[in-house]
Structures are given as structure tokens and as C-alpha cells.
Amino acid sequence: MMPTRKNEPTRRLKASDDTDTRTGGPGRQCIVTREGLSQDEMIRFVRSPDGTAVPDVAGKLPGRGAWVKAERASVDEAEKRESFSRAFKQKTPAGPGLSDLVEQQLLQRCINYLSLSRKAGDVVIGFDQVRAYLRNQSPGILLEASDGSEDGRNKVHFLAKAMYDTPKTAGALSSAELGMAFGRDRVIHALLQQGALCKAFETAYRRLTGFRPAPERDWFSGLRR
């Protein structure tokens, strides 16, 4: 299960900004929950030329930004309350399916990091290959397809747990989505080696699981060796 991060102390922060747009930078205040959170725990939105609120998950689009906690309920609430209009001080409706659009952008960000990891040689793919790696080295993050078999998943998990206590696992991507990242039709079992790209994927994945279920939270609870 991916580790959770405690919220930073609530501070009086601006709900919108026009300075640093990089994720991982200074804390911001969610325009819905009013929580002070790090940018890695939020989604930045900007006002498009046509006057609608659009997500900027990479935090690179120019202009003033409004920040929302990285979870579907908060984005839906921002749309419902017309929070973007208040943040930008002018009418700023949200486009249809805003939460779904955020999810797709976050998914693509995760896929991009996995693809970069493959190109860097930091990925191990396949049931036998993953288990062989685990017998010799600690993984960064185990990748298990959400639609993979329970038996194979448990065998990988038990080996990793026996060798390295509680392994980090990401299970929200389907076998087709993992396959897309790794240039294959489908991938069920894989792992990321420790390093900068692994950490970047972990941050992106944490935000993604605010918009789709993280099945690994339930997969291994109550299981015993």
C-alpha cells in the first residue's frame, strides 16, 4: 500500500496564485476544503482563453492558478459550488466531466513516468523476472495490474514481504494501461527500481488514487503467510 502523508499544518494561504507553478513547491490552500497542503497533494487549475476552468496537473500553464485537493469529491464540489468563479474573481464555469478529465491527465502522467523508467532501464517486467529480482534486491514500487489474478499477485507480495517487510505496491492501473506504458499489449506484474523516476511516479500515483480506487489498500489486508 502506498504510504500516506500527513497534512502540513493549516495556514492562511492564498487560494489562487500567480507565482510558483511547479508541483512540490510551496504550500497552497484548497479553494474547497480550505486546507493548507503541499502542491503534490493538489491539482492546479487555470482559466482558459474561453473562460473555463481547466486542470494543469503538471503545474506549468501560465497565468493565475486555483488549487483543489487531489480528490474527486473536492473537484466535484468546486464545480458544484462555482468555486472557480470566486477564485478567479470572474465567471469561470467548469467544463463537463472535469473530474474524469483530471483522472485521465493524472493517468497519462503516471504512464509517462513508467515509460521513462522503462527507457532508463529501471523496470523489471514479468512474474518470474519480478520474483527473481526480489530474491536479490529491494524494489522501489511493485506494480500489479488491477485486473490481474489474486494468486499471482499474492505470490509476488508474500515474497516481497518476506524479504523486505512491507513493500510499496501500486495497483490502480489495468494490465492494458501498464502495457501501454511498457510498449506491450498487457502487463500484469512489474516493479520500479529505486530512484528519482520511482519517486516521481509515486507522487503522481498518489494523486491518481484520489480519482480512482487504489485496490492494493484491500488486497493484502488480513492475509497471512
Which of 37, 94, 218, 136 shows the shortest CA–CA distance to 191? 136
Do 102-219 and 16-95 fall under one CATH topology?
no
pLDDT given for residue 165 in this prediction: 83
Residue 170 has pLDDT above 90, yes or no: yes
Alpha-carbon distance of 217 to 220, in angstroms, equals 7
pTM: 0.85
Please answer whether residues 116 and 185 qualify as being in contact, where contact means their C-beta atoms are separated by less than 8 angstroms.
Answer: no
Rounded distance between C-alpha atoms, residue 186 and residue 149, angstroms:
13
Asked if residue 63 has pLDDT above 80, the reply is yes
Residue-wise pLDDT tens digits, 200-221:
999 999 999 999 999 999 997 7
Q: Which CATH number fits domain 16-95: 3.30.930.10, 3.40.50.1970, 3.30.1230.10, 3.60.150.10?
A: 3.30.1230.10
Confidence grade of residue 164 (pLDDT, cut at 50, 70, 90) = confident
pLDDT digits (tens, 9 = 90+) for 117-135: 999 999 999 999 999 999 9
User: How many angstroms separate the Cα of 20 from the Cα of each of 23, 25, 59?
Assistant: 9, 7, 9
Domain ranges of the chain: 16-95, 102-219
Tell me what the mean pLDDT of segment 97-104 comes to. Answer: 96
Nearest-angstrom CA–CA distance, 110 and 181: 9
Residue ranges in 95-149 assigned as alpha helix (H): 98-119, 127-134
Q: What is the pLDDT of residue 178?
A: 98
Pull the grid cell for residue 121.
Answer: 532501464
Query: What is the average pLDDT score of the chain?
Result: 88
- The fold adopted by the segment(s) 102-219 is 60s Ribosomal Protein L30; Chain: A; (3.30.1330)
